[in-house]
């Protein structure tokens, strides 16, 4: 029975999800949650790519304890030195050196011969070993590379000091059996293979990232690289929660273990969804809204009699609880704090709890029963809040069959309170036009999603918007029992993030795999 190491790359590959922008404070929050989740390794960023990435890795290395902190570097001296510098204060540091293995990449991207790739890799791994004993080596695009070249390249990297070798399916091209065969062949034929960890890094272009990662574990890989909610470049990476729960639920098949605190999975997923502005599809395995919902009468009847009739794992194992009534409008501050503690938010600062208590009271006035899911949603919004340059004071709208929707919005800033009205294609459009009139900030809406937190006529609506503004990409989120108001709040969240500089260039300066 082997320990399968979970290498989380949400903050590096996951941050390469189109439209995702995380600031340093958010990255630290997520890294702390990853530590609670007990991942083995956090890939915190790619320090050479920007000052922001450097700072995030540096702060995580200083402030997050438990997991090994890893930084990415190309096979170049400057990259490795910058990664090492960012990791200086880490409890345990790993440098992840990567190159490419396929002819397509060598010819068109690196413009290097095989010999040049091998010698740059060897030099870089040696240099990285001068800073840390924990060095990972990857060659992108292994599933489209020639086996003989990979055997040579990985053998040389191990001889130079690599302690983990990662075999990326960069373009999500591999099939499970094929990928398992590749891992097996490398483990058998690469000189020095027995002394190192083999790792998977699978992209999901054909929807096989998790299947391929598990197949590789079956072939002897002892590290899986993955991201929360499967975020990542293009179709994303293998979803951490799915890999972990597959290994856990089917121990009888895999016979291995991970050290993941599975009860932290749901909270981690929600935090990442919230901070990155990427909604989790309702039918997503393990963390989607419907993952433990039973709709048909036969299924409902079954689970009432015995949960295992239609559930292969329990909701509690992944940190979810039914949306039960936890509090009402007469509940006091002390009971509210205790509920937060029970939901795993015991560490919140007093002023955050005070702001949450006020939000809870406002909600309890508008909603007959406040559930644990509602409270989680309030916490997520409150803890992701940036300084409030703009405060939404009031929203009113009128719409109906055969009439043009019209909205009036009042917004305050430190220079005063402003009101505007506008018409639109629908009430949300009218609200957004009125907000644009007040602020004059040019905003192009690129994505809009609405989800209901829990069920019932008075359920909270959660709106996520993705926008671009003058070449900057940013997302916002808003909550309310009124979906038009939630939409307005999401837009105001965007305005506040733009004002606080929490946005990223729509086209990043350095692109990575
Ligand atoms: O997909 C990929 O090949 C990568 C490497 C840097 C590991 O992300
Ligand atoms: Zn990748």
Q: What is the pLDDT of residues 387-427, one digit of tens each?
A: 889 999 999 999 989 899 999 999 999 899 999 999 999 99
Report how many helices (DSSP H) and strands (DSSP E) the chain contains, helices first. 17, 17
Q: In angstroms, rounded to a whole number, what is the distance separating the alpha carbons of residues 96 and 9?
A: 11
Q: What is the pLDDT of residues 448-461, one digit of tens each?
A: 988 888 667 778 88
Q: Quick one: how far is CA 117 from the chain centroid?
A: 32
Nearby residues of 432 by Cβ (< 8 Å), 6 or more positions away: 424, 443, 445, 487, 488, 491
Q: In angstroms, rounded to a whole number, what is the distance separating the alpha carbons of residues 267 and 457?
A: 25
pLDDT at 507 over 70: no
Which protein residues touch ligand 1 with a CB less than 6 Å away? Answer: 13, 98, 138, 140, 166, 168, 170, 201, 203, 513
For ligand 1, the distance from its centroid to the CA atom of residue 170, given in whole angstroms, is: 6
Nearby residues of 240 by Cβ (< 8 Å), 6 or more positions away: 6, 8, 10, 39, 226, 227, 228, 230, 265
Tally of CB atoms within 10 A around 98: 24
Please say whether the beta carbons of 326 and 375 come within 8 A.
yes
Q: Closest ligand to 237 CA?
A: 2
Q: Determine the average pLDDT of the residues in 154-172.
A: 98
Q: What is the pLDDT of residues 196-216, one digit of tens each?
A: 999 999 999 999 999 999 999
pLDDT attached to residue 21? 79
DSSP SS3 for 327: strand
Please say whether the beta carbons of 390 and 379 come within 8 A.
no
Nearest-CA residue for ligand 1 atom 2 is 170
Q: In angstroms, rounded to a whole number, what is the distance separating the alpha carbons of residues 109 and 469?
A: 31
Label each residue of 187-234 as H, E or C: HHHCCCHHHCEEEEEEECCCCCHHHHHHHHHHCCCCEEEEEHHHCCCC
Average pLDDT, the chain: 91
Scored b (16 or more CB within 10 A) or e, 199-233 reads bbbbbbbeebbbbbbbbbbbbbbbbbbbbbbbbbb
Instruction: Give the residue, out of 10, 94, 201, with the most ligand 1 atoms within 8 A of its beta carbon, to mutate for a pocket test.
Output: 201
**Residue 221 corresponds to which tokens in the numbers above?**
């890989």
Q: In angstroms, rounded to a whole number, what is the distance separating the alpha carbons of residues 222 and 461?
A: 42
Q: What is the pLDDT of residues 274-323, one digit of tens each?
A: 889 898 998 999 999 888 876 667 776 777 778 888 889 998 899 986 54
Sheet with 504-505, strands from edge to edge, namely 444-453, 460-469, 472-480, 504-505
Nearest-CA residue for ligand 1 atom 4 is 513
* Same fold flag, 5-276 and 391-501: no
246 closest CA partner among 288, 214, 284: 214
Dihedral sign from CA coordinates of 25, 26, 27, 32? positive
Q: Which of 114-118, 233-237, 445-449 is predicted least confidently?
A: 445-449
Q: In angstroms, rounded to a whole number, what is the distance separating the alpha carbons of residues 16 and 12?
A: 7
pLDDT attached to residue 183? 98
Q: Which helix (H) or strand (E) holds 157?
A: helix 147-160
Confidence of residue 512 (pLDDT cuts 50, 70, 90): very low
DSSP SS3 for 3: strand
CATH class of the domain whose range is 391-501: alpha beta
For ligand 2, the distance from its centroid to the CA atom of residue 467, given in whole angstroms, is: 25
Domain extents in the chain: 5-276, 293-382, 391-501
What DSSP letter does each residue of 127-150 carry, written as one string?
HHHHH-S-EEEEEETGGGS-HHHH
CA distances from residue 269 to 30, 287, 504 in whole angstroms, order as listed? 10, 7, 22
pLDDT at 103 over 90: yes
Label each residue of 332-385 as H, E or C: CHHHHHHHHHHCCCCCCCHHHHHHHHHHHHHHHHHCCCEEHHHHHHHHHHHHCC
**Residue 216 corresponds to which tokens in the numbers above?**
């590789």
Q: What is the pLDDT of residues 466-476, one digit of tens each?
A: 898 888 888 88
DSSP SS3 for 155: helix
For ligand 1, the distance from its centroid to the CA atom of residue 241, given in whole angstroms, is: 20
pLDDT attached to residue 509? 39
Q: Closest ligand to 233 CA?
A: 2
Confidence of residue 513 (pLDDT cuts 50, 70, 90): very low
Q: For residue 108, give the DSSP letter.
A: I
CATH class of the domain whose range is 5-276: alpha beta
Q: Is 504 left (phi over 0), alpha (psi -120 to 50) or beta?
A: beta
- Tell the residue number behind the tokens 């009128």, with chain if given: 398
Q: What is the pLDDT of residues 10-65, one digit of tens each?
A: 999 999 887 787 899 999 999 999 999 999 999 999 999 999 999 999 999 999 99
Dihedral sign from CA coordinates of 278, 280, 281, 282? negative
pLDDT at 324 over 60: no
């Amino acid at each position: 029975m082997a320990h399968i190491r979970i290498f989380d790359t949400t903050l590096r590959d996951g941050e390469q999800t189109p439209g995702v922008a995380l600031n340093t404070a958010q990255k630290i929050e997520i890294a702390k949650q990853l530590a609670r989740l007990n991942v083995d390794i956090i890939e915190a960023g790619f320090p050479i790519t920007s000052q922001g990435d450097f700072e995030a890795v540096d702060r995580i290395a200083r402030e997050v304890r438990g997991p090994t902190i890893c930084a990415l570097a190309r096979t170049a001296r400057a990259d490795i030195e910058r990664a090492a510098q960012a990791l200086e204060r880490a409890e345990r540091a790993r440098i992840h050196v990567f190159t490419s293995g396929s002819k397509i990449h060598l010819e068109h991207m690196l413009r290097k011969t095989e010999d040049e790739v091998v010698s740059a890799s060897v030099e870089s791994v040696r240099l990285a070993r001068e800073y840390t004993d924990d060095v990972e080596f990857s060659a992108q695009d292994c599933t489209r590379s020639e086996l003989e070249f990979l055997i040579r390249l990985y053998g040389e990297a191990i001889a130079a000091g690599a302690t983990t070798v990662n075999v990326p399916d960069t373009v999500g091209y591999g099939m499970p059996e094929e990928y398992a065969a590749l891992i097996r062949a490398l483990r058998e034929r690469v000189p020095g293979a027995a002394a190192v960890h083999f790792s998977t890094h699978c992209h999901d272009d054909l929807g096989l990232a998790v299947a391929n990662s598990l197949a590789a574990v079956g072939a002897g890989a002892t590290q899986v690289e993955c991201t929360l909610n499967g975020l990542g470049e293009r179709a994303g990476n293998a979803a951490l929660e799915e890999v972990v729960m597959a290994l856990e639920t089917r121990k009888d098949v895999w016979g291995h273990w991970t050290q993941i605190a599975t009860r932290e999975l749901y909270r981690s997923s929600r935090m990442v969804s919230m901070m990155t502005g990427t909604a989790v599809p309702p039918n997503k395995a393990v963390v989607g809204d419907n993952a433990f919902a039973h709709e048909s009468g036969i299924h409902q009847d079954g689970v009432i009699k015995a949960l295992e009739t239609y559930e292969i794992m329990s909701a509690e194992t992944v940190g979810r609880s039914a949306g039960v009534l936890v509090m009402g409008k007469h509940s006091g501050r002390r009971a509210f704090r205790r509920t937060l503690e029970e939901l795993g938010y015991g560490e919140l600062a007093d002023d955050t709890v005070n702001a949450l208590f006020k939000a809870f009271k406002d909600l309890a006035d508008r909603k007959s029963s406040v559930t644990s899911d509602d409270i989680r949603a309030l916490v997520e919004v409150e803890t992701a809040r940036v300084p409030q340059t703009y405060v939404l004071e009031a929203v009113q709208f009128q719409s109906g069959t055969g009439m043009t929707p019209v909205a009036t919005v009042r917004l305050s800033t430190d220079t005063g309170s402003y009101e505007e009205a506008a018409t639109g294609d629908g009430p949300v459009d009218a609200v957004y036009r009125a907000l644009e009139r007040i602020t004059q900030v040019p905003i192009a809406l690129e994505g809009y999603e609405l989800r209901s937190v829990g069920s019932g006529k008075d359920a909270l609506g959660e709106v996520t918007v993705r926008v671009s503004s003058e070449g900057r990409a940013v997302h916002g989120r808003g909550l309310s029992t009124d979906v038009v108001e939630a939409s307005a709040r999401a837009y105001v969240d965007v305005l506040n993030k733009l004002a606080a500089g929490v946005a990223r260039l729509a086209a990043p300066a350095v692109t990575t795999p």
